[in-house]
Amino acid sequence: MWVLASSLSLLQLLHKIPAGMTAAEIEALGPEVVQAMEEYGVRVETVGYMVFRGFIGIETVYQLFGGITILLWSRIKPWAQMDRERKGNPRMYEWVE
Question: Which of 93, 75, 81, 95 minimizes the C-alpha distance to 13?
Answer: 75
Using CB atoms within 10 A of its CB, is residue 73 exposed (0-12), middle (13-18) or buried (19+)?
Answer: middle
Query: In Å, how far from its chain's centre is CA 90?
Result: 15
Count of Cβ atoms closer than 10 Å to residue 41 Cβ: 20
List pLDDT tens digits, range 35-83.
888 888 888 888 889 999 999 999 998 888 778 888 888 888 999 999 9
- pTM above threshold 0.75: yes
List pLDDT tens digits, range 23-46.
999 999 988 888 888 888 888 888
Question: Which of 74, 70, 3 minimizes the C-alpha distance to 43?
Answer: 3
